[in-house]
Structure 1
Amino acid sequence: MAFAPAKINWTLEVMGKRDDGYHEIASVMQTISLADVVTVREAPEPALRITGHAAWMGGLAAEDNLAYRALLALSSALGLPPNAAIVIDKSIPVAAGLGGGASDAAAVLRALPLLWQRTIEESEIMRLASEIGSDVPFFMRCGSAMVSGRGELVQPLRDASLKHLVVLPRSGESEKTGVMYARLDPGDFSDGSLSAALARRFEHRLAYDGHDCCNAFTRAAGEGDPGVGSALRAIMERVGTHGHLAGAGPSVFAAFDDEHEAGAAARELERSGLRAVACRTMTAAEALRLEVGLGD
């Protein structure tokens, strides 16, 4: 089994559109304890099954699922038939801004070489990760990281000090990210300096909080989905702290130093009718764990 954690973006800056059509970003990303669990086992042909309480949200065709695409890409790179079955116990909503699909794909890339007893160069597996999806390279590293380019450049940072979180997970449209980039105005762009400053804070083990957060998509997400604005207002009005957009939305989160405070905030938000999940930040070592016995 492989752990497939969700992520939040402490910062997400968009600096402009590149010649290849992608956008240049700068983002400090963080894995969190909300997670899927991915199991791979030998099978006569490639197969994908999704279970768990968020399984109803994972209704993509197999060929559109990033984990399934990771199976095909890795088997091709290794010159092997794609004879493996993937089972995803899904807790992370799809298209939620939490990176669930990309994390599942990275979990498959980490687990399959063990199942097949093959080795692959790190540079090659990172190349495959970047071709499968923009967030997949980050999930090959996990923990705290400075992410740039279109998402394929990942600079691991010192693990951020522990934060307790309340995440309001919501599923969005399957092609949401491209739509959200199209909604950005020039005023939403920035130069990446806020992300660089927060990365330096992590490296020097300095304190950080919600005031260090920023997200280029906050305006566009709020205008395109009234639920985003409602969730952010609920966090401020009912909990008394600022909420922040996860990825391009529509999920949002708030950060706390105290576990009990985060738990109380989650309960208060649920009383208002919102789904709220109390979780915490995860280090790279925690997030990258694999359990041997993958075929059991």
Structure 2
Amino acid sequence: MTIAATSPVAHARAPGKINVFLKVGARLDDGYHEIATAYQAVSLYEDVRAHPADDFSVSFGGSVDTSGLETDGSNLAIKAARLLARKTGFRGGVHLEIDKSVPIAGGMGGGSADAAATLLACDALWGTEATREELVILAAKLGADVPFALTGGTAIGTGRGDQLSPALAQGSFHWVLAIAEFGMSTPAVYAELDRHRERHVHDISPSPGVPTVDARVLQALRAGDARMLAESLHNDLQAPALHLAPGLGQILELGEENGAITGLVSGSGPTVAFLTSDADSALELQVALSASRLTAVRAHGPVHGARLLPD
């Protein structure tokens, strides 16, 4: 899993994700929520190159606007590198060069992918020889989505999303992602969910204490059947995201009018993910959304989790 510690640079790549199912439990006393989610890793990637350095630093490039990203110790990739150094006793530092393709604050786990790729790249650069299981444990300390960015594929996440169980998936699912020009705060969307439930307490069923993933989702993934999956896509965070950003509803309608089987807000938004029947349909939908002056990209899944690449 590691490469020689004398190597001048270590390159790791990790995928973004789509929550094809997300059920949120009641708010706990600590303010958090238990969730049950079905993750699918998709072919939008974050590339992290780790260079030897005396301290810890990060710089960004890529196909998305990174001008608003923090580059100090609050950045999740820096936190990942420091955590690995602390846990392994490594006394040096690292400069992280990150090329981003996953939308920022878009509900697709781009920051989590940065952290996962950083753990893998720094382990390789420093020759600390952590096992994959040890890296997954560290990943869970960094955020709920980071372990999945390491493992990739398709998985069920419970607890806060970090307790993973692999899920069997056949074939490939084709997505078109409508990427918003703004981000959304995950805590703000969860807070709006709590308010939404309070407002409609007499109209909707009580939220479960321990949510579960619908069995129909697992059946659709096992069958590799896009239309079956479309019937069971669900996201409890979609309603609060639409309340905070009503324009997302128009995007959902536009995609479904132009050939998508269905669409949903990805995670806490604002990225809207459209499921299509095949690669040709995805291309046609991408063209239609682009003609409406939306930023649209195609992706497929499931794909591998974080891995080392030659540089």
Whether these two folds match at TM > 0.5 is: yes
**Structure 1's 71 and 240: CA in aligned 2 closer, same or farther, altered over 3 A?**
closer
2:307 counterpart residue number: 289
What is the one-letter code of the residue matched to 1:289? R
Q: 1:95 aligns with which of 105, 109, 119?
A: 105
Match of 2:45 in 1: 35
Cα deviations by residue, 1:93-134 (Å, 9 ceiling, x for unpaired): 211001000011001112211111122254543232112111
Unaligned runs of 5+ in 2: 1-10, 198-203
1:221 is the counterpart of 2:230: no
Separation in 1, partners of 2:268, 2:246: 14
Q: 1:173 to 1:270 in 2, by over 3 A?
A: closer
Contact 1:9 1:27 in 2 (8 A): yes
Give the Cα–Cα distance (whole angstroms) in 1 for the partners of residues 248 and 96 of structure 2.
Answer: 33
Paired residue secondary structure (1:161): coil
Residue 16 of structure 1 deviates from its aligned partner by 1.5
**Partners in 1 of 2:217 and 2:290 — Cα distance?**
31
Q: Which amino acid is the alignment partner of residue 230 of structure 1?
A: Q
Counterpart residue number, 1:256: 276
* Other-structure match for 2:143: 133
Aligned to 2:166: 156
Change (3 A) 1:87 1:61: closer
Alignment partner for residue 21 of structure 2, among 7, 11, 26? 11
Q: Report if the CA contact (8 A) 1:9-1:28 is conserved.
A: yes
The answer to whether the 8 A contact 1:50-1:58 is kept is: no
Q: TM-score, normalization: structure 1? A: 0.90
The RMSD of aligned alpha carbons is 2.1
CA contact under 8 A between 2:183 and 2:269: conserved in structure 1?
Answer: no
Which residue matches 2:191?
182
Q: Check 1:104–1:290 CA distance in 2 against 1; reply closer, same or farther (3 A cut).
A: same
Structure 1 residue aligned with 2:6: none
Query: Contact (CA 8 Å) 2:183, 2:270: kept in 1 or not?
Result: no
For residues 42-67 of structure 1, what are the alpha-carbon distances to aligned partners after superposition, in whole Å with 9 as ceiling and x for unaligned? 11221101012214355224222111
Residue 93 of structure 1 aligns to a residue in which SS? coil
Q: Secondary structure at the match of 1:14?
A: strand
Aligned pairs for 1:11-160 (under 5 A) are: 11-160=21-170
Identical pairs, percent: 31
Q: Compute the displacement of 1:9 (Å).
A: 0.7
Alignment partners' CA distance in 2, 1:122 and 1:35: 20
Quote how far apart the aligned CAs of 1:240 are: 5.2
Between stretches 215-224 and 11-20, larger displacement belongs to 11-20
**1:211 and 2:231 are equivalent in the alignment:** yes
Aligned to 2:218: 199
Letter in 2 for 1:245: V
Runs of 4+ in 1 over 6 A off after TM superposition: none
Cα distance in 1, alignment partners of residues 191 and 54 from structure 2? 42
Please identify, of 152-161 and 132-141, the stretch whose mean Cα deviation from structure 2 is larger: 152-161
In the superposition, relative to structure 1, how do residues 86 and 110 fare at CA in structure 2: closer, same or farther (>3 Å)? same
The number of equivalent residue pairs is 289
* Aligned residue number for residue 266 of structure 1: 286
Q: Is the 8 A contact 1:14 1:216 kept in 2?
A: yes
Cα distance in 2, alignment partners of residues 201 and 210 from structure 1: 9
